[in-house]
Structure 1
Amino acid sequence: MSNFLFIQLLLISLAGLGVCNGEKYSRDDFPPNFVFGSGTSAYQVEGATNEDGRTPSIWDTFAHAGRAGGATGDIACDHYNKYKEDVKLMADMGLEAYRFSISWSRLIPNGRGPVNPKGLQFYNNLINELLSYGIQPHVSLFNFDLPQALEDEYGGWVSQKIVRDFTVYADVCFREFGDRVQYWSTVNEPNVYLIGGYDAGDTPPQRCSPPFGKINCTRGNSSIEPYMAAHHILLAHASTVKLYRKNYQEKQHGFIGLCIYTFFYIPFTDSKEDALATQRANDFLIGWFLDPLIFGDYPRIMKENAGSRIPSFTKAESKLVKGAFDFIGVIHYMAIHVSDKSSNLALKHRDYNADSATTLVDIDLLTSLEVSITPWTLEGVLEYLKQVYGNPPIFIYENGQRMLHNSSVEDTPRVKYMEAYIEGVLNAMRNGSNTRGYFTWSFLDAFELFDAFESSFGLYYVDIEDPDLKRYPKLSAHWYSDFLKGKTVGSDPEGLGEFDRNVLFTSK
């Protein structure tokens, strides 16, 4: 089937999926073993960056260079010291699972070598606290925070040395925590991490080269480093999965996967050129990682457009990577329209974004505060993964609404967003999607990558002006709690008016 025809058929098939229009549903409409949770990541909530032996990561360096408006995660939400309070809030809400990441430089300060006892104790304490309330831990090993020591020593992910160091780090985590953690993801949204960190240079570790970088590039190569780093991430991931399956999985009965960022791409016009551009965009964002994991090699169009700049898998590497997952983690917020720009391919010196030969338009997350509520786009992503990649087990590990960070807890737009997207997940599952869990982003108002605490996704407001960083439940926390405890939702799509009034009245 041609790419053009496939995109057309996919869009047509979506017209037949369930339409999210406020139909009633409840927790009981999902399978009992389906899990609902929320998540954070280490640098965004832990704080205590200079406490108990932790050393800087590349995210520390990025923040201290002023890339988040002068703010840093040095304190963040102080989850390091307030984890018991936070887990109690999760339990009171009825949260079934909590996804968090481990700070590599807190656990192994030099990136390799001796384990930090204090870091080990913290994660043991956090896991035990979660389990004491029956909350399932889901752990990510890497979320934008490579130890700065490894970046300084050999360039981090651009060097194949990282494969061994990451695998050894993962081995420590499996050995120390795997008796209680059953769900592991290796690298969080590597596609976005690489585009931002190695092509545009506007996220850690800020590597890029003129004229492609969006900042003043002082190191890196936008033409080749995104592909090099991606190759090493895939090899590190596959090496880690091999280790886990060989030494731990049978005894610990756990599962391991990789998490990817997804847009739902839509052709900007009904032209054949834009349909083909949409398929290229999918290949360059999703296929970059899923094609190797499912089929053992990069997408054909990537190899054609990038040429010798994209590494080739050896037969042994292809065999190692293919099938190296138990589930795929999906991160999704919105749709993007795609327009053909194949003239980019004529550039003499290309970067990653030029290789995709597309233009992405109407990016809500970058041009407006709140994301449009279009839950059929998440259905579309799940349908795409079902049709193209054989319907792998999926956990939706991030989905949420961006809003201004302020003291108002009346986050009705977030409630509407969650209500619609959870219904979208239910529709996708009824259409055959192999989705196993849904996690909101985020549990707390976390330190966000570009604007720190200017915006927020949290179910709980964190008062960063309060020395005690007091937490306050938002309307969304109450709504999610009611849903998790069995209340039927989705019957008031326009205003959630009675719910608003009841919660705000009883909260005062």
Structure 2
Amino acid sequence: MQTLSLFFNLLVIFLVTRVSDAFTRKDFPDDFLFGAATSAYQWEGAFDEDGRTPSVWDTYSHTYSRYNGDIACDGYHKYKEDVKLMAEMGLEAFRFSISWTRLIPNGRGPINPKGLLFYKNLIKELRKYGIEPHVTIYHYDLPQSLEDEYGGWINRKVIEDFTAFADVCFREFGDDVKLWTTINEATIFAIGSYSDGLSPPGHCSPYELINCSTGNSSTEPYIAGHNMLLAHASASKLYKLKYKNKQRGTIGLSIYAFGLSPYTNSTEDEIATQRAQDFLFGWMLKPLVFGDYPDVMKRVLGPRLPVFSEEEIEQVKGSSDFIGIIHYTTVLITNPTPKPSLLSPRHDFYADMGVEFVHIGKYSLYEWESIPWGLEIVLEYVKESYNNPPIYVLENGKPMKHDSMLQDTPRVEYIQGYIGSVLNAIKNGSDTRGYFVWSLIDVYELLSGYMHPYGLYYVNFSDPGLKRSPKRSASWYTGFLNGKIDVTSQDITQLKRNFSGSSSM
């Protein structure tokens, strides 16, 4: 424990003090985008209106949770009100996703004219206020019809259907959309949906504490991840051949990125951290940048890891114009000590990775410490290991208990600390081009429903009109974006004091 404390304190002093200078919006590049984010199922509601059909997320939430996105915060009907809030805030960009089943109800085939009109109107409204739309094509909501027909992402047929869906998006919206993300946080999507069973469609091997009706945690996450890479590459190739010259947009893939740091300075923990980086970053990034999976994954997984053909290597390599980073928290990595157990050993992604996570300070699914240097570590690692690709931080935010209190000071401290870490990374050479707070307003959350939202705006879910009210974080972000707030040395000193007090070991 003393070794950890010494190492950790040195790391904190080294990294956190690097944001000791005051900064403002003007310290970022002129073309850097500050935005906020939502996704279709979490924001829109109107789950069965105007031709929309069920997705796997509808099915999953109605099967495994007491919460769902049937109404959510009704962005489908209230989008003009929400865009006006964005404009009043001074938001420069808005990240949202296209509901596959709202646009193409059968998963393939005819376009739903009412769904098409909704997204055209939303994009038009954003453009009217000078807000850049950043569109995610897929955010967990595969048409249930395709899941029923052939198993969704564990079947290569999904590549053709996804590419056709993307083609409709590019054709119909691409003149006004210059930033496209194909698949949301592909890494944690594959793990959560096909190893842990904690996200739609909820596949996993049957374990004592997990109630999955189907799945194989030792193979399906890698099959699904492989098909995601191929689907992304296929859509990217289509865009570049058919649309890019005219529309002048860019297209990328996003991954979920923990901040990763060794628990101690031992060789074992350093090797374990590198293994975690290969599994959690390299799994998707190495094929995108260098054309193939990390050697350690090949060695550990053997025939369970799919193999790219030579043609696929060439198609996947270089298929992302940028990398989307989704980051919330940081963990320390240690090499595990074998423990005898009466239970059958699990065979899943985390067992294959072979490391233990040590959470810093207080941690739960709904609350974690603010550790800004963790994001800087991520951006620095991607810069050094993957040829410094353009990066957008597509999600970053803090959940807090949903109640009538609008004074979300911990969220303000969290956001300003992480924005400071992005600026540090840029000053150190990272090609980071945007930062999006999750989320614009309180939305339906996969793991916590409506109990621990992330919104800058409070939504009164008991009010039939779902009234929006600005939290302190919305006011702070507004001031920052409009040049009326800078993060001062005193602010950073307080952040360091709060961090040190809450994370002592």
The verdict on a shared fold, with TM-score over 0.5 as the criterion, is: yes
TM-score (norm 2): 0.92
Residue 381 of structure 1 is matched in structure 2 by 378
**Partner secondary structure for residue 333 of structure 1:** coil
- 1:39/1:443 contact within 8 Å kept: yes
Contact kept? 2:44, 2:74, Cα under 8 Å = yes
Determine if the alignment matches structure 1 residue 19 to structure 2 residue 17.
yes
- State the match for 1:290 in structure 2: 285
Deviations 1:444-499 (A, max 9, x none): 111000111100111000000000000000111111111111124212427999xx
Pick aligned residue for 1:215 from 210, 230, 250 = 210
**Structure 1 pair 185/330, CA: closer, same or farther in 2 (3 Å)?**
same
SS in 1 for 2:133: strand
- Aligned residue among 422, 439, 446 for 2:419: 422
Shift in CA distance, 114/420, structure 1 to aligned 2, threshold 3 Å? same
Return the alpha-carbon distance in structure 2 between the equivalents of residues 175 and 139 of structure 1: 13
Do the aligned partners of 2:360 and 2:369 also contact (CA within 8 Å) in 1? no
The superposition leaves residues 198-247 of structure 1 with CA deviations (integer Å, 9 ceiling, x where unpaired) of 11112111111134x85222211111111100110000000000000000
Partner of 2:166: 170
User: Normalized against structure 1, the TM-score is what?
Assistant: 0.91
Q: Which whole-Å CA distance do the structure 1 matches of 2:363 and 2:199 have between them?
A: 14
Tell me what 1:315 maps to. Answer: 310
Match of 1:79 in 2: 75
Q: Percent identity?
A: 55
**2:177 is aligned with 1:181:** yes
| Residue in 2 that maps onto 1:61 | 59
Please say if 1:462 is aligned against 2:459. yes
Deviations 1:162-191 (A, max 9, x none): 000000000000000000000000000111
Aligned equivalents of 2:494, 2:346: Cα separation in 1 = 53
Closer/same/farther in 2, CA of residues 386 and 435 from structure 1, 3 Å limit: same
Q: Does 1:120 align with 2:121?
A: no
1:148 correspondence with 2:127: no
Inter-partner Cα distance in structure 1 for 2:209 and 2:281: 23
Q: In 2, distance between residues paired with 1:365 and 1:159?
A: 40
Q: What does residue 319 of structure 2 align with? A: 324
SS of 2:121 mapped into structure 1: helix
Q: Which position in structure 1 is the counterpart of 2:129?
A: 133
Q: Secondary structure at the match of 2:328?
A: strand
| Alignment-mate amino acid for residue 361 of structure 1 | V
Contact 2:68 2:449 in 1 (8 A): yes
1:363 offset after TM fit, Å?
6.8
Alignment of 1:394-409 (within 5 A): 394-409=391-406
Give a deviation string over 1:258-317, Cα, whole Å, max 9, x none. 011001111122221111111111111111100000110000000100100000001000
Deviates more, 1:271-280 or 1:465-474: 271-280
Aligned to 1:47: 45
2-side partners of 1:495 and 1:470: how far apart? Answer: 36
Distance 1:368 1:22, change over 3 A: farther
Q: Which residue pairs with 1:274 in the alignment?
A: 269
Question: Residues 160 and 366 (structure 1 numbering): CA distance in 2 closer, same or farther, change over 3 Å?
Answer: farther
Letter in 2 for 1:481: T
Using the TM superposition, name which of 14-23 and 89-98 deviates more.
14-23
Equivalent residues in 2 for 1:416-495, closer than 5 Å = 416-491=413-488, 492-493=490-491
Equivalents in 2 of 1:125, 1:340: separation in Å?
Answer: 52
Superposed displacement of residue 196, structure 1: 1.0
- Contact 2:20 2:493 survives alignment (8 Å): no
Task: Answer yes or no: is the 8 Å Cα contact 1:20–1:375 preserved in 2.
Answer: no
Q: Secondary structure at the match of 2:257?
A: strand
**3-state SS of paired residue (2:109):** coil
Q: 1:237 to 1:452 in 2, by over 3 A?
A: same
Q: Distance in 2 between matches of 1:49 and 1:418?
A: 31
Amino acid at match of 1:139: V
- Helix, strand or coil: the match of 1:186? strand
Tell me if the contact between 1:283 and 1:299 (Cα under 8 Å) persists in the aligned partners. Answer: yes
In structure 1, what is the Cα distance between the partners aligned to 2:91 and 2:335? 43
Give the whole-Å Cα distance in 1 for the aligned partners of 2:287 and 2:234: 14
- Indicate whether 1:96 and 2:83 are aligned: no
Q: Is the 8 A contact 1:17 1:427 kept in 2?
A: no
Instruction: After TM superposition, give the deviation of residue 404 of structure 1 in Å.
Output: 0.7
Q: Deviations over 1:99-134 (max 9, x none)?
A: 000100110111111111110000000000000000
Whichever residue aligns with residue 73 of structure 1, its letter is G
- For 1:309 and 1:472, the matched residues in 2 are separated by 49
Distance 2:13 2:60 in 1: 43
- Separation in structure 2 between the aligned mates of residue 208 and residue 71 of structure 1, nearest angstrom: 21
1:117 counterpart letter in structure 2: P
C-alpha contact 1:143 1:188 (8 A) present in aligned 2: yes
Q: Structure 1's 140 and 111: CA in aligned 2 closer, same or farther, altered over 3 A?
A: same
Unaligned runs of 5+ in 2: 1-8, 496-505
Measured after TM superposition, the shift of residue 49 of structure 1 is: 0.2
Give the match's secondary structure for 1:257: strand
Q: Write the mapping of 1:244-263 to structure 2, written as runs, cut at 5 A.
A: 244-263=239-258
Coordinate RMSD, CA, aligned: 2.2
Indicate the larger mover: 302-311 or 334-343.
334-343
State how far apart, in whole Å, the 2-side matches of 1:490 and 1:414 are. Answer: 14
TM-superposed CA distance for 1:16, in Å, is: 5.8
Aligned residues: 483
SS at match of 2:382: helix
CA contact (8 A) 2:476 2:485 kept: no
User: Is the contact made by 1:27 and 1:487 (CA closer than 8 Å) also made in structure 2?
Assistant: no
Shift of 1:23: 3.2
2:104: which partner in 1? 108
Aligned to 2:6: none
Q: Tell me the alpha carbon deviations over residues 423-443 of structure 1, each in whole angstroms, 9 at most, x when there is no partner.
A: 111111111110001110100
1:339 and 2:337 matched: no
Question: How far does residue 351 in structure 1 lie from its aligned partner after superposition?
Answer: 2.1
Tell me, in whole angstroms, the C-alpha distance in 2 between the residues paired with 1:90 and 1:236: 32
Change (3 A) 1:495 1:388: closer
Which residue of structure 1 lines up, in the alignment, with residue 499 of structure 2? none
